[in-house]
Amino acid sequence: MNDHALTLLVLLPAAAACAMALVPKSAGGAAKKLTLATTALVALIAWSLAFDGRAGGAGLSHIVSAPWIPSLGVQFFLGVDGVSLPLVILTASLSFLAALASLGVERHPRGYCALLLLLQTGMLGVFLALDFVVFYVFWELILVPMYLLIAVWGGDGGRRAALKYFIYTLAGSVLMLGAGLLLYGQSDLTRLAPADLAECGVMGPDAAKPHASGMVLAEWLASDDPLAERYVDAEAAGAPLRTFNLSAMARLARSTDVFTSKSWGGHNLAWWAFVLLAVGLAIKLPAVPLHTWLPDAHTEAPTPVSMLLAGVMLKLGGYGLVRIAWPVCPEAARDLAFVVAVVGVVGLFWGALAAMAQTDFKRLVAYSSVSHMGYVLIGLAAGTLGADAWALGATGAVFQMVAHGVTSAGLFFAVGVIYERVHHRDLNQLGGLMNRMPTASGLALVLALASLGLPCLCGFVGELLVLLPAWTFNPYLAAAAASVTVLIAAYTLRAVRLAYYGPEYRGPNGDRLTPVTPRELAVLIPLAVAAVVLGVRPGIVTEVAEPALVAAGQPFAHPHPNLPGMTPVADAADARRTTR
Amino acid sequence: MLPTLVEQLANDTAGLSLPRSAPEVTLVVTIVALLLARVPAALRRIDPVWIALTGALVALGCLLGEARGGLAAIEPVELFTGMLRHDALGVFSRGLLLMFLVMMVVLSKLTGLASRDDGQDFFVLLFGATLGMCVMCRANHLMTVVLGIEMASVPSYVLVGIVKGRRRSGEAALKYSVYGAAAAGVMLYGVSLLAGLLGSVHLPTLGLRLAELQVASLAGDPSQRGVIMALALAGVLVLVGMAFKLSAAPFHFWAPDVFAGAPAEVGAFLSVASKTAALVLLLRLVSLVLPHGVSVDAALPGEGVSRLAAMSDAGPAAPARAFVVGLIATAAAVTCTLGNLAALSQTNAKRLLAYSTIAHAGYLLMPIAAAIALAEHDPAGASGAAAAVMLYAAGYLFLNFTAFAAVAAIRNTRGAETIEDYAGLIRTAPVTAVAFCLAMIGLLGLPPLVGFWGKLAALRALVDAGGPWMVMLLVVAVLNTALSLVYYLRVVKTICLDAPPEDAGVERPERPTRLLLAVGAAPILLLGIAPEWLARLAGEACQGLFG
Amino acid sequence: MTPERLLPTLLLLAWLAPLASFVVSAIAGSLLSRRHGGQEGGAVDGAAARTIGHVATGAIGVSLVASVLALGAWIAAHPATDGHAPAATAYAGEWFGVLDVGPLHVGAAYYIDALTVVMAVVVTLVATCVHVYSFGYLAEETAAEGLEAVADDEAPTYYGNKLRRAGRLHRFYQHLSLFCFAMLGVVLAGNAVMTFAFWELVGASSYLLIGFYYERPKAAAAATKAMLFNRVGDVGMLVGLMALWGLAGTFDYERLFAMAPTWMASHYGLATLVGAGLFCGCIGKSAQVPLQGWLPDAMAGPTPVSALVHSATMVAAGVFLVGRIYPLLTVEVLVGIASVGAVTLLVGATLASVSHDLKRVLAYSTVSQLGYMMLSLGLGGWTAGLFHLVTHAGFKALLFLGAGSVIHAVGTNDLRAMGGLRRAMPATAGLMLVGALALMGAGVPVLGLGLSGFFSKDAIFEYAVAFARTNPSYAWLFWAPLIGAVLTAAYITRLGLLTFVGQARSEKAEHAHESPESMLVPMAVVAAMAIGAGWAVPGSRLSVPSLLAMSAPEATHHARTGSAWSGVTLPGVESAHEVDVRAAAGWAAIGATLVGVTSALLMHRGGRKCETPAGAPMRQFDEHWLPSVSRGCDAVARRLGAFVSGPLDRGAIDGGLAGAAGLLKSTGGGLRRIQTGSLRQYVFFLALGVVLVSAASLGVALRWING
């Protein structure tokens, strides 16, 4: 039986977006309230996933599986596991906060709300989709609403920035599409064992449940599932049965050689697919040198959109890497891990250095995002070393995504709070805000410290988890990555000092520095609280994500024969096993 | 003897062929009615659009009657002693054409192109061309191939210049006709070569002859090498004719000028109907003439469909097929890239759409190459690739119709056809603007709009076929998609973001026009969200096409 | 209850009480400031702010009591012995887990030995005194309500008038509570990650405290500088942690100490890297050369903060950490630590003798004293170094609190504007004198009588002498502290003379008043500590050093020789405690002090500035060279950043892509140009196309035929 919580999660915002057409033009307020209510409902459903005891952990749950376009082999296949659950909750919550932050939007509120809701559908869909085409559809669904949101409701340079965003991301996503098709072209469901088929959701939602009653292959084949019929046909003809099922692809990569048997130009297909996927997803992440869309887009976007852009959008790339690129192309990931790690470290430095030079507060935060996402790449690269490294690196990467989602969204909102009042973001003209609006400034300070990587706040855990395996991977890169913390501290503290400290505000529009409103507090406080809670109890994310990541990272459990970096001391390795 | 033959002929015609050609007959009747309606003064008051609409709807109804039992149930038969071929693909493609005809009739009436006085001429030409296209869709004989193309082309030449008194229009018509005549000549030469070399004009028989030739063994025989060269030349020349109809590079030069010169409505017709028919014809040619596992002994020429049987690994015409794959793949890649590149710097909406049409011809050719490549080992896969073409074409129908209809509607309200003039349309004419934007984004191929699924199916066919040519096409297609973003998005940007001109008054098209635009645009979204229906139809239409 | 259950429980209480106070004050402070008058600005009712202060003080009092009880429990469980007994077992365990990923397990763990207990008592004791003291010192923060309660003349406003702001005593106590929580976390930490986490948190709370007067540009800059300098050191620490993980796969101290000998044998180089990396963190936190620059600047914070954070506890955390991870350190690292310490103590002492700012003198003195501790630890004097840490916490806190009292009365930090204050503030002067004597290490060697500093400094000299004897080529590690002792005595004498002796040199100094009791009583408490911290409990062998010695790492008990520098041998406890070494050390220390005091007095009497000749260049080094290096780094980073975000991002990448796009577009334009519109040309193209395509395909066919 399908569990329709996830369908609801994905379709509710879309339905609400359609309903915007029915809202009369004059009733902008109603549109905003409808959006708020919808996002609140979605957030509730998302949170309920965390508490109903089924989601999270290694296996998929809440599976929705229905034939969508059987002719093209596309299954409407949604599910949630430990990797996606935190990101889904993050997305749903941030969307709600963004809707809350959007209550002040005055221009074309109906269109704005409809686009925001469509955006939410797309983002949630990406995190929940388990079929490559569904994943891609949701991925692309984000583009146009985001483009319009930045271009219409953004700043003066919004159009250019939005166009840049669109071009970069579309270029990335077509590369991803190419990779997905290449993998599809070699996949073959008939080569999977029945147990795998069940676990990957191929046999429908019931068989995929962790303690399914052992639905046997024959039973499924006898059912009227169109896929089962095609399976029978394919098996009879000895022909391959192609699939877009992401779990099945990962399973195929692990247990068969379908993706690696053919070699073109010295590399096998998985390698090429990995390159395409990595480049495509790196654009979204973003990784240097494909990041230049980000500062522009973030700077020009309206505040709630910036929150979503930094808080969720950048995670889509990282999530794609964790969900598709690494599990489906493990050998290639291992082969190219060094390149990925170097890109990550360069990104770390690049973003941090660029942030040092910014005078626009928002641009500074945007560049800091470039920097922070470098850790994701480093963690994933280092994770290819072995089972332990993967557990640390991948979990660190996922944690870093969640943590950055919280802090960057919070910081963007904090900048928005200032901008809404004084209509500029020039750090050199700010100052003294700590006294003018102490609550907002205090919360912003907490978020800034969290983004700086202060222990007991959420930024630290991801860094630590990523850096530990990174050392074994390559000490020099790890040391370089560690040294970036100085730059991160430098630009963050500089921003805090210029914006919040100092004797008084001397910039323009000083008289408009009104106290923070309850609505703004309602956005800031949950984010600050989340930053603290995640820092103090990181287990709430890691315990959920780790089993799923370990399951996805099984190909990395067997160390590569020519292991780069250093080998741990033998007796120490023994001790490590008994540490827990 | 003779009476038997006559009886057979009569039976064939009246019992088998005519009932299965009811839509074509309806079209002919409508044309006659349209012409006659002008003669008696009493009938002159009737707006020809009603006659045309009735005719088109009846034709469509007849066709639906043919498809009553589902496309899968249609048994392929040869009609008119092998001149035409009745099968699911023919029904499906003609269904698209006739549906499009209905939409065209309504559109041309609403935009005022077919006025009360001139409407009759316009509709006659439109119906005549459609009739030719229907013949193209069912061609089973080199003669019907040529006949169909000419029947479709000649009225089109006139349609391009239908608006009297516009110099550019007339010039475009002239260019089109000269270019078309030249291309037809080239093709005719190829056709005659083919017929002469292989000794037949019946397409399945041609295929058998080609198989019998055993091209590979010919190559070993020095005296027969000339035959191979001549065959290659013949194939190329026939394909040149097809390329002209499809506006594929390097035979696309006519397209921008013609589209720019012709009224937007005619542009829609040329870009959608003409191209669909040409694609189906191309599919027919490659599926029938290029043999795929045909058993030479088992097939009896001239009698029904060639029977298929498994043959040795490398079919007798494998080299010929590989040659055609390369030819089509190259043409597809060049056409697609060229169209997109040239579209980047266009300022006129119709010219932009013309280049977009060229680019899409490239995309559409890709799965055909895949189909030919697949035909040898995986007939089902090849049919799937053909289905991808049809799915793409079906989606493309709505996309391009909406785009051109919007151009026509805006021309009537704003009197302008350059992209800059579309500024701020979303404020002054929201329905038109939204429809136009949907069409643009759909043409770009973003999900969940219908354009994506055609593209996905096409790319999937490429992947299924595999091999260096297909990977090259995959790369080209993917990169071109990214490239095409720039110009499609520019239109969207102009419409949605730029400020409308200050003197813009009430610009909303009439309600019926808006309704038509909505009707054209709704499938873009609806079929995008639920494409399975269309995908299955396309699949059924092409089932068994390659055996 | 057995000590293994009692100690963790007590210390957990001590640890969490300030956290509770922090949470309560943070929430209450925010709520109160919002409710107050309906306008923002952080104004909190004075009484409410004081209540928050009382809560914080109560919390730290609870901590103090719990720590003292823990000390008692420890002593009860480990009766004092002769000193050289095998190390007492530490109680290690975990309160609760926090992070469990793959092989990594991090929890709120504890590692309790004598060092832990003693540090806990020191921290909570000084902290309690500072909490109480601050009521008096920061009284004006609650003087009135509303947004314009406090005038701040160090924060320049646009129109040049005094900045007026709301009082924020509650924030002060809030941050102070956070600091106490973090500091105790460092002290208790049972694994390296927890140490690092609280280490950073200590840094952050110090950031908040230095930036308490965030309106003042100086304070804001100093706070940033402190955090950044600490971060620079912490990079090394992070590298050390990573290497430690690569080496051992665990962060648990107990486990690490057990494993250390194994990997010292197998991976000496990596082990050295671990030690060096971790020590880098200590360089930052304990303001060792070359990262000492932040500490004097940190004096921009309120003086009680300087007393607690920047003299007694936080800066000592580096020394504490070296003591804690001592078993992991190789001889090479230890000698490095000693060298850094020696350089630092000289630099600090020299600068202290030339500064004109009361608090900066003390800050430099702190730097110098921290150098002593590092030196001692590096030379193998584990007990001695940590003993000095305890005594220093007492007397330096006393000196700072006294300085605060003076500043509170005079309203300036400038020594040149003081003078003769002993008349107006006799209590302060007396207490400061005690502190100064303790700092000099005043005492009578023969009788074994003296203030706390006397004992600890003696102990350090013992190791210096012993080390110099074993390694004659490293004799400078003996001379450096000796010269340092001279300078110490000199600068503290100078400080006393300039402040309390002579005539008042400014109007404010003339009208100075003694500080209130709430300030004097805590000073008296720390004074008691400054005096007696070195003494043994009458009638027993129990003293701070004997307590610490119980937990001295195994490695300190006997001489060790390095692997890479095989010439270096660290003396063990025995060689440092030889009679002749002790005698030499004692005479050297007291002699140096006497020389220092005498020369300072003579110079003062002679009317000369009592400054060291090395002062000027050293000042140049400290105030120009080092800052210009950090400014240079900042400028380079900013320049690089501008380059990266400008020429590279916008120029190379964006420009490159734009160029590529332009190229595509112009290609498109080229294609468009072919489209001339001439029919003749089109037909020509058609013919050309047919010919070309035919020729190409004929060619292909021909090639195929031929092979």
**Residue A503 is nearest to which of C163, C266, C654, comparing CB atoms?**
C163
Q: Where is A109: in which H helix or E strand?
A: helix A109-128
The SS3 call for residue C163 is strand
Contact C653 A572 (CB under 8 A): no
Contact A151 B493 (CB under 8 A): yes
Phi, psi of C160 (to 5 degrees): 85, -5
Q: What is the mean pLDDT of chain A?
A: 88
Beta strand pairing call for C443-444 and A263-264 = unpaired
Which chain B residues have a beta carbon less than 8 Å from that of C689? 240, 250-251
Contact C689 B179 (CB under 8 A): no
Query: What pLDDT is recorded for position B456?
Result: 93
Residue C39: closest CA among A500, A441, A436 = A436
Arithmetic mean of pLDDT, A191-199:
84
Residue A405: closest CA among A382, A441, A372, A445 = A372
A119: Cα separation from own chain's centroid:
14
Domain ranges of chain C: 1-329, 330-552+579-611, 613-675, 677-707
Rounded to a whole number of angstroms, the distance between the first and last alpha carbons of chain B is 35
**Residue A69 is nearest to which of B463, B474, B531, comparing CB atoms?**
B531
pLDDT digits (tens, 9 = 90+) for A520-560: 999 999 999 999 999 999 999 999 999 899 888 888 887 65
What are chain B's partners, defined as 3 or more CB pairs within 8 angstroms? A, C
Which of the four pLDDT bands, split at 50, 70 and 90, describes residue A289?
confident
Q: Answer whether residue B100 shows pLDDT above 50.
A: yes
Arithmetic mean of pLDDT, B400-422:
89
pLDDT digits (tens, 9 = 90+) for A400-418: 999 999 999 999 999 999 9
pLDDT digits (tens, 9 = 90+) for A338-388: 999 999 999 999 999 999 999 999 999 999 999 999 999 999 999 998 888
Residue B539 touches partner A, C-beta closer than 8 Å: yes
Q: What token pair was written down for B198?
A: 């292989």
Q: What is the mean pLDDT of chain C?
A: 87
Query: What pLDDT is recorded for position C610?
Result: 63
Q: How many Å apart are CA B462 and CA B329, to the nearest integer?
A: 10
Which chain C residues have a beta carbon less than 8 Å from that of A537? 98
Q: Answer whether residue A580 shows pLDDT above 70.
A: no
Arithmetic mean of pLDDT, C532-558:
84
> Dihedral through CA A147, CA A152, CA A155, CA A159, nearest 10?
50
Contact B466 A185 (CB under 8 A): yes
Query: What pLDDT is recorded for position B506?
Result: 62
Residue C568 touches partner A, C-beta closer than 8 Å: no
Q: How far is C667 from chain B (nearest CA, A)?
A: 7
What are chain A's partners, defined as 3 or more CB pairs within 8 angstroms? B, C
Q: Answer whether residue A306 shows pLDDT above 80.
A: yes
Arithmetic mean of pLDDT, C549-564:
82
- C517-532 helix and C452-470 helix, angle to the nearest 10 degrees: 40
With a CB-CB cutoff of 8 Å, which residues 183-222 of chain C face chain B?
A: none
Q: What token pair was written down for A90?
A: 């993050």
Q: How far is B219 from chain C (nearest CA, A)?
A: 5
Arithmetic mean of pLDDT, B204-215:
81
Query: What pLDDT is recorded for position C150?
Result: 75
Residue A543: closest CA among A60, A72, A82 = A82
Contact C99 A461 (CB under 8 A): yes
Nearest-CA residue of chain B relative to C661?
Answer: B483
pLDDT digits (tens, 9 = 90+) for B75-93: 888 888 889 999 999 999 9
Which of the four pLDDT bands, split at 50, 70 and 90, describes residue B310?
very low
More confident residue, B303 or A40: A40
Which of the four pLDDT bands, split at 50, 70 and 90, describes residue A563?
very low
Give which of B436, B489, B492 to mutate to test A binding, by max A Cβ within 10 Å: B489
Percent of chain C at pLDDT exceeding 90: 36
Q: How many Å apart are CA A125 and CA A128, to the nearest integer?
A: 5
Q: What is the mean pLDDT of chain B?
A: 86
pLDDT digits (tens, 9 = 90+) for C382-401: 999 999 999 999 999 999 99
- Count of residues in chain B: 547
Residue C658 touches partner B, C-beta closer than 8 Å: no
Q: How many Å apart are CA A407 and CA A527, to the nearest integer?
A: 7
Contact B236 C669 (CB under 8 A): no
Phi, psi of A92 (to 5 degrees): -65, -40
Contact C653 A390 (CB under 8 A): no
**Residue C664 is nearest to which of B225, B326, B344, comparing CB atoms?**
B344
Judge whether A538 and A402 are in contact, CB under 8 Å: no
Q: Which range has the worst mean pLDDT, A455-469, B447-461, C78-92, C173-187?
A: C78-92
Query: What pLDDT is recorded for position B424?
Result: 86
Residue C528: closest CA among C397, C671, C367 = C397
Residue identified by tokens 């249609």 is B74
Which of the four pLDDT bands, split at 50, 70 and 90, describes residue B97?
very high
Residue A485: closest CA among C19, B96, C280, C353 = C280
Residue A354: closest CA among A408, A295, A397 = A295
Query: What pLDDT is recorded for position C508?
Result: 82
Q: Which range has the worst mean pLDDT, A8-17, B493-502, B516-525?
A: B493-502
What are chain C's partners, defined as 3 or more CB pairs within 8 angstroms? A, B
Q: What token pair was written down for A294?
A: 């980000």
DSSP-assigned letters across all residues of B307-366: PB----SS-TTHHHHHHHHHHHHHHHHHHHHHHHHHHHT--BHHHHHHHHHHHHHHHHHH
Q: Answer whether residue B306 shows pLDDT above 60.
A: no
DSSP H helical ranges for B378-429: 379-414, 425-428
Q: Answer whether residue C41 shows pLDDT above 70.
A: no
pLDDT digits (tens, 9 = 90+) for A1-42: 567 888 999 999 999 999 988 888 888 888 999 999 999 999
Q: Which range has the worst mean pLDDT, A321-330, C157-166, C602-611?
A: C602-611
Query: What pLDDT is recorded for position B152?
Result: 93
Chain A / chain C CB contacts < 8 angstroms = 225
The SS3 call for residue B542 is helix
Q: How many helices (H) and strands (E) does chain B have?
A: 23, 2
Which chain C residues have a beta carbon less than 8 Å from that of A383? none
Q: How many Å apart are CA C352 and CA C344, to the nearest integer?
A: 12
Query: What pLDDT is recorded for position C249?
Result: 87
Query: What pLDDT is recorded for position C334?
Result: 92
Residue C234 touches partner A, C-beta closer than 8 Å: yes
Chain A / chain B CB contacts < 8 angstroms = 82
User: Cα–Cα distances in Å, from A6 out to A3, A64, A308, B145?
Assistant: 7, 7, 20, 53
Q: Answer whether residue C12 shows pLDDT above 70.
A: yes
Residue A181 touches partner B, C-beta closer than 8 Å: yes
Q: How many Å apart are CA C330 and CA C568, to the nearest integer?
A: 11
Query: What pLDDT is recorded for position B505?
Result: 64
Q: What token pair was written down for C196?
A: 């690092």
**Residue B482 is nearest to which of A159, A163, A171, comparing CB atoms?**
A171
Arithmetic mean of pLDDT, C223-227:
92
Q: How far is C215 from chain A (nearest CA, A)?
A: 4
pLDDT digits (tens, 9 = 90+) for B232-252: 889 899 999 999 999 998 888
Which chain C residues have a beta carbon less than 8 Å from that of A161? none
Residue C96 touches partner A, C-beta closer than 8 Å: no
